[in-house]
Amino acid sequence: MTEAGHPDAIDREMVRYYAARADEYDDWYRRRGRYSHGQEDDAAWRSDLEAAASWLSARRFRGEIVELAAGTGWWSPALARQGQLILCDAASEPLEKARARLAAAGFTAEFRVCDAWSEPDRPVDGLFAGFWVSHIDRARLGEFFGLVARWLVPDGLFAFIDSRQDPGSGARNHRPPVDDVQVRRLDDGSSFLVRKVFYEPAVLASALERAGFSDIEVVTTDRFFVLGSARRGSPSPARNGSREARRSRARNG
């Protein structure tokens, strides 16, 4: 997204990429094909993935939970077990995979094709985002956490799982991002540009603090993942650049 909040070329390309990748997306989790890096790295990946899954299951979500950029719903059953889940993704193709995954696990949920940057329609008890924060422009991280705060009731829970930079994480034919932009390939050889930002845990924690969150925890697994959770503080979060915020700035000179 640009400063003005309109999707830029990379934002639009990311949606096209994940729509086209829906059938092969889980190969990344399962270390299949181009995503296999040999026995040792794959075992380390599986161990980290298990640690992330246990961490997520130990969060104390309840009530209504929004999952932003839910994709194929890898984490959705773990969330649906804890509350009433609403999945949002800008692409319908991965969401259809999530729908099938949840149905197979015996869960019902609400599915919305929507932009993760949309304003909330109502406050909910919890919000989760898997591998979405690393697709956010550094200049907009605080704005996103402000949006998350507006999604949540006071004391509502926010949790995310995301990537740490590791050569054994992505596909073997992917190179590391340059200036936070990475070329991604599909099995058919087609290529797309995505934004990929490997945020340091301390940067994430400070941005959450600035957005008014409390009980902030940002930890990492051995190699591959960063895991974060925080609770919305009590005062009602003002929208960045909203009329209310502008009025308050004007009052204070």
Ligand X SMILES: C[S@@+](CC[C@H](N)C(=O)[O-])C[C@H]1O[C@@H](n2cnc3c(N)ncnc32)[C@H](O)[C@@H]1O
Region binding ligand X by CB under 6 A among candidate stretches 35-43, 67-75, 176-184, 238-246: 67-75
Q: How many CA atoms lie within 13 A of 2 on its CB side?
A: 6
Residue selected from 45, 75, 144, 158 as contacting ligand X according to rule CB under 6 A: 75
Tokens linked to 220: 């990492």
Beta bridge partners of 225: 163
Q: Which long-range contacts (CB under 8 A, 24 or more apart) does 169-174 make?
A: 169/45, 169/224, 170/28, 170/35, 171/28, 171/34, 171/35, 172/34, 172/35, 172/36, 172/37, 173/34
How many residues belong to the chain?
253
Q: Among residues 30 and 239, whose Cβ is nearest to ligand X?
A: 30
- How far the first Cα of the chain sits from its last, in Å, is 30
Q: Distance between CA atoms of 49 and 180, rounded to whole angstroms?
A: 24
Site size for ligand X, by CB under 6 A?
Answer: 19
Tokens linked to 13: 């390309």
Tokens linked to 74: 């890898």
Decide if residue 70 touches ligand X (CB under 6 A): yes
CB of 70 vs ligand X, minimal distance in Å: 5
CB of 206 vs ligand X, minimal distance in Å: 23
From residue 111 to residue 130, what is the string marking binding to ligand X with x (rule CB under 6 A)?
----xxx------------x
Q: Among residues 180 and 209, whose Cβ is nearest to ligand X?
A: 180
Decide if residue 61 touches ligand X (CB under 6 A): no
Q: Distance between CA atoms of 103 and 79, rounded to whole angstroms?
A: 14
Residue selected from 52, 56, 66, 69 as contacting ligand X according to rule CB under 6 A: 69
Q: Among residues 112 and 209, whose Cβ is nearest to ligand X?
A: 112
CB of 130 vs ligand X, minimal distance in Å: 2
Strands 124-130 and 110-113 come out as unpaired
From residue 126 to residue 155, what is the string marking binding to ligand X with x (rule CB under 6 A)?
----xxx-----------------------
Decide if residue 90 touches ligand X (CB under 6 A): yes
Q: Among residues 103 and 113, whose Cβ is nearest to ligand X?
A: 113
Q: Which residues bind ligand X (CB under 6 A)?
A: 11, 14-15, 18, 69-71, 74-75, 89-91, 94, 115-117, 130-132
